[in-house]
Amino acid sequence: MPQAIKETHFRFENQTNFYRGKVRDIYFFNDLLVMVASDRISAFDVVLPRAIPYKGQVLNQIASKALKATEDIVPNWIETSPDPNVSIGFNCDPYMVEMVIRGYLAGHAWREYRSGKRQICGVPLPDGLKENDRLPQPIITPSTKASEGHDEDISREEILQQGLVSEQDYLKLENYTRQLFARGTEIAAKQDLILVDTKYEFGQKDGQIYLIDEAHTPDSSRYFYADGYQDRQDQGEKQKQLSKEFVRQWLIENGFQGKDNQQIPEMTDEVVNSISDRYIELFERITGDKFVKNEGGDIAERIERNIKNYLDIKQ
C-alpha cells in the first residue's frame, strides 16, 4: 500500500493555535493560517478509520486551481501552496453556514425528495422529478456549519432569524454562490463533466468577504459524466459520477449511515485503493492535468519541512 497521512502533530515556532477538522489539520500564526490536507476521509459526518493515499494531495491541488480560477468573482484566502498537501493564507472569521447549491436532484436532496418532502431549506420543488434530474434552476440549500456531529439543513429565513448572517451579507453570499457555481459549471463542461452540486464556505476579514476552505473538490462537489447523461436518465439507469457519493453508497450498502449504534464496515486494502483511484480520476478529469503522485520519503517530514521553509522566509 502507498503511504497515507492520517494526521499531523507539528509544533512550529510562533504557532498560536491548532484545530483538527474532519479532513484538514489547521495551524494558526496570528493572521496566518496553514491548512494541511490529510488523507482522512469522512462520510455522513464521520471520519472513517482508514486514510486514502493521495486524497489530501488531490483535494489541495484541485482546490488551489479552483480558487485561482474564481478569484475574479470573489477574493479567496490562499497566498501560496508550498507543498502538494498544504495551502497557506490569511485567517478569516468564518460565517457559520455552508452555502450548498444544487443543479440536479441527487444525493441528500434526492433522499429527502424520495421520502416525500417537496421543500428543502424553504425552497419548493415540483412533483414528478426522478433521481438525478436537472432542476428547473439551481437552488441554494444552506446547512449549519457544525464543529462536531452532523451539519443540518437550514433555510434563508432561519439563518436571518437566528442572526447567523446579516441580511446584507447573506444576499452577497447567495450572489457569490450562484456566480461560483456558474463558473464551476463552465469549467466542468470543458472536461465533459456536469457539476451537479457543491458547497462553498465564506469568511470575513476587515469588512471584506472571502471564499475560504476549498472549492470544486470531490469532497465538496458531485460530478456526472456529461457524455450519455440524458440517455441514462431516459432509460432509468444510474448516472456515472465522480464524487464522494460512491463512498456513501458503499457505506449504505454495508449498513452504515452515521446513525447511533451503527458500525463502520471494514475498509479492506481493495476498498481503500479503489477510493484512491477514483480521487485521482476526478483530479485528472476536472483539471485536465496528469496527476503526479508525490512519492518517496516520509510524507509528514516532507510537509513539515516545506511549511518550515516557507514560514522562515515569511516571518
Residues sharing a CB contact under 8 Å with residue 42, sequence separation 6 or more, in sequence order: 22, 23, 48
Which domains are assigned to the chain? 94-246 (3.30.470.20)
- The pTM score is 0.88
Residues sharing a CB contact under 8 Å with residue 89, sequence separation 6 or more, in sequence order: 32, 33, 35, 76, 77, 78, 79, 80
Report the C-alpha gap between 241 and 224 in whole angstroms: 4
**Residue pair 219/244 in contact by the 8 Å Cβ criterion:** yes
Give the H or E element holding residue 179. helix 167-190
pLDDT mean across residues, the chain: 93
Percent above pLDDT 90 for the chain: 82
Encode pLDDT of 6-28 as tens digits.
999 999 999 999 999 989 999 99
